[in-house]
């Protein structure tokens, strides 16, 4: 079992990160403990080549932590599709996990869409619960503007209470 989670999807430069940096404190003010995962389809070294932490990973460590006065970064040598099982380890730590990206993943989704960057993704992803956009949308999905963060937070709390923020079951 993993904490309730929602993927924030959209084209590059659509405003996903900006929305998350505004949404997290709003949900926190509502009393929710929110975790955030950045999902990337691009290779990104978690540990710089030759660093101590890279050497621990290469040696087969099941978990590598990098601790500084600013906090602790944990990494697990797991493929991205195992992110939900990893999140299960934190079910008592967070009430909701927001995942930036992972449009092909099994999570319910919130699309951030800006006209001119690419077509609306929601018609191709039935898991999209709502869209954040300045532009009008076809009928059928709730729409919030990027400035309606309190209303979006209230909507997500309703989804959370209604059990809508659970991953679809897969093989």
Q: Note the pLDDT tens digit of each residue in 75-92.
A: 777 776 777 777 888 888
Kindly list the domain boundaries of the chain, sorted by start residue: 5-40+78-161
Dist CA 132 CA 111 (whole Å):
6
Angle between helices 149-161 and 16-29 (to 10 degrees): 70
**pLDDT score, position 171:** 43
Dist CA 161 CA 156 (whole Å):
9
Beta bridge mates, 73:
66
- Please calculate the CA angle 112-105-71 and round it to the nearest 5 degrees: 80
pTM: 0.85
Q: Are 166 and 87 in contact (CB under 8 A)?
A: no
Look up residue 92 and give its DSSP letter: T
Tell me the fold of 5-40+78-161. Answer: Rossmann fold (3.40.50)
Report residues of the chain scoring pLDDT below 50.
171
The full length of the chain comes to 171
**pLDDT score, position 54:** 84
């Amino acid at each position: 079992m993993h904490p309730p989670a929602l993927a924030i999807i959209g084209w590059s430069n659509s405003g996903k990160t900006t929305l998350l940096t505004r949404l997290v404190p709003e949900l926190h003010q509502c009393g929710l403990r929110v975790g955030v995962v950045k999902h990337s389809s691009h290779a990104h070294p978690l540990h710089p080549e030759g660093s101590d932490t890279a050497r621990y990973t290469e040696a087969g460590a099941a978990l590598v932590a990098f601790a500084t006065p600013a906090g602790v970064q944990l990494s697990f040598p797991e493929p991205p599709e195992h992110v939900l099982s990893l999140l299960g380890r934190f079910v008592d730590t967070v009430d909701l996990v927001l995942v930036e990206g992972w449009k092909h993943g099994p999570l319910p989704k919130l699309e951030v869409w800006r006209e001119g960057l690419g077509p609306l993704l929601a018609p191709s992803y039935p898991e999209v619960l709502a869209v954040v956009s300045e532009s009008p949308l076809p009928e059928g999905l709730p729409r919030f503007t990027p400035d309606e963060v309190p209303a979006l937070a209230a909507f997500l709390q309703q989804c959370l209470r209604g059990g809508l923020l659970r991953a679809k079951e897969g093989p």
